[in-house]
Structure 1
Amino acid sequence: MESFFWSVGMVFEPKFSECRKGLTKVAKLITIIDDVYDVYGSIEELEQFTDAVERWDINALQHLPDYMKICFLALYNTINNMAYDVLKEHGHVILPQLTKVWADLCKLFLKEAKWSYNKQIPKFEEYLSNGWISSSGPLLLVHAYFLMSQNITNEAIQSFKTYPSLLRFPSTIFRLSNDLSSSKAEIERGETANAISCYMHENGVTEEVAREHLTSLIDENWKMMNKELVSNSLFDKSFIEIAINLARIAQCHYQYGNAHSDPNDVSKNRILSVIIDPIQL
């Protein structure tokens, strides 16, 4: 339900119901794969899984442990089916773009897993340059663009190779909002690298000062993102609005803790009020 709530927050218009269904599947896959990298996999297993995703080769299954075989096959079939539907309905070949964003995500998940395994705290800028992509924001937005199936252009498709600023700004807000809410739980789990710990370690400041810095960065990224609304863009206004909605739902989701992995009563009630409970007249 949390994954669907996220999809509704990004794309709420009734006409985009198929987009919401697809994004919900993508969000669940992200959650499962993130847990594989954070909790379950050894470094050697994670390297094998990352290689399988990067190659996008079904034959790589034979080299994976059983629990990873199920995970990879679910990813492989789901994304191939999405690419097939877009090709059939709209004539665009998008599988290379979809597999690239998944490979990029897994490579950065692996990098973060190695930081954790080696008890390494990277420089803040290195962490954030990795973290805004590993937030999964760019991956969600690339899938949303194609699942909307509106005004797909070759120029926009090519721009995804280098992750344009329209993807970077909301994804940075996503990452920072996540870290502001989840840092304590991550440290207790043994993870050493998050935005707060990296900034504290590099600058020798308190947690309070680090949190203030992250909040100011969120404000800066909102200002830059709002400029996208009035600037010339490869993307139409509907997709720009979805990118902005990603930042909105991220801040909503992490306002009172991590509403995805450890929802409290406030977060649960928010989700129920949107999806389950009828509107009181």
Structure 2
Amino acid sequence: MAEHVEARWRYEGNVPTFDEYLENGLFTSAARLSFTQMMIAMDEADTNAYEWDEEKRGIFATASRCYMKQHKVSRKEAIKAFQEMIGETWKMVNEGYMRPTPVAHELMRVGLNYQRMLDFAYTDIDHYTKPEKTFKHLILKVFAYPIPL
């Protein structure tokens, strides 16, 4: 259903509000935190790093466009807001990881490592959809040519 919503937005050339985009994204992303993690590079990147391929491919409902439309702000202000969201999200993740919980620590570590992987995968460029840039090389180092212990 959520993919249908995104397809309709694209077909109609509609840019939803950021809240609508984020709510729908909860179902189309791999994890609830994936949205902010995909933009984790904003801490050090400039605005050119956010001319996402999605926009070039005609996908109108990008996070930055939705946020800019809803809050009537510039791209620079949207990026600053995303940086703040990312910082707050990392605080919540780290605090949650440190709290006593009935969930096994090993399971929590899997979730934390998943978020770290997303952080790495989407730093500076989208390594996931463009693995030939650096991601492929790093994966080969880890799996094909591991360091003997």
Give TM-score scaled by structure 2 length.
0.81
2:64–2:79 CA contact under 8 A, matched in 1 = yes
Q: Report how far residue 253 of structure 1 moved.
A: 0.6
- Secondary structure in 2 matching 1:218: helix
- Secondary structure in 2 matching 1:243: helix
- Larger C-alpha radius of gyration, 1 or 2? 1
Q: How does 1:212-251 map to 2 (within 5 A)?
A: 212-251=80-119
Return the alpha-carbon distance in structure 2 between the equivalents of residues 113 and 183 of structure 1. Answer: 20
Q: Determine what percentage of the aligned residue pairs are the same residue.
A: 29
2:15–2:60 CA contact under 8 A, matched in 1 = yes
Change (3 A) 1:260 1:187: same
Return the alpha-carbon distance in structure 1 between the equivalents of residues 7 and 92 of structure 2. Answer: 31
Tell me which protein shows more helix as a share of its residues.
1
Q: How does 1:186-197 map to 2 (within 5 A)?
A: 186-197=54-65
CA RMSD of aligned residues (A): 2.7
Q: Report how far residue 268 of structure 1 moved.
A: 2.5
Counterpart of 2:22, as a letter, is L
Q: Does 1:136 align with 2:4?
A: no
Counterpart of 1:207, as a letter, is R
**Aligned match for 2:14, one of 114, 120, 126:** 120
Equivalent in the alignment of 2:34: 171
CA deviation string 1:218-273 (max 9, x = no partner):
11111111121233435211111111112110110111312222224322322221
- Structure 1: stretches of 5+ with no match in the other structure: 1-106, 138-167
Q: Report how far residue 182 of structure 1 moved.
A: 7.0
Equivalent in the alignment of 1:265: 133
Q: Report how far residue 188 of structure 1 moved.
A: 1.1
Q: Does 1:279 align with 2:142?
A: no
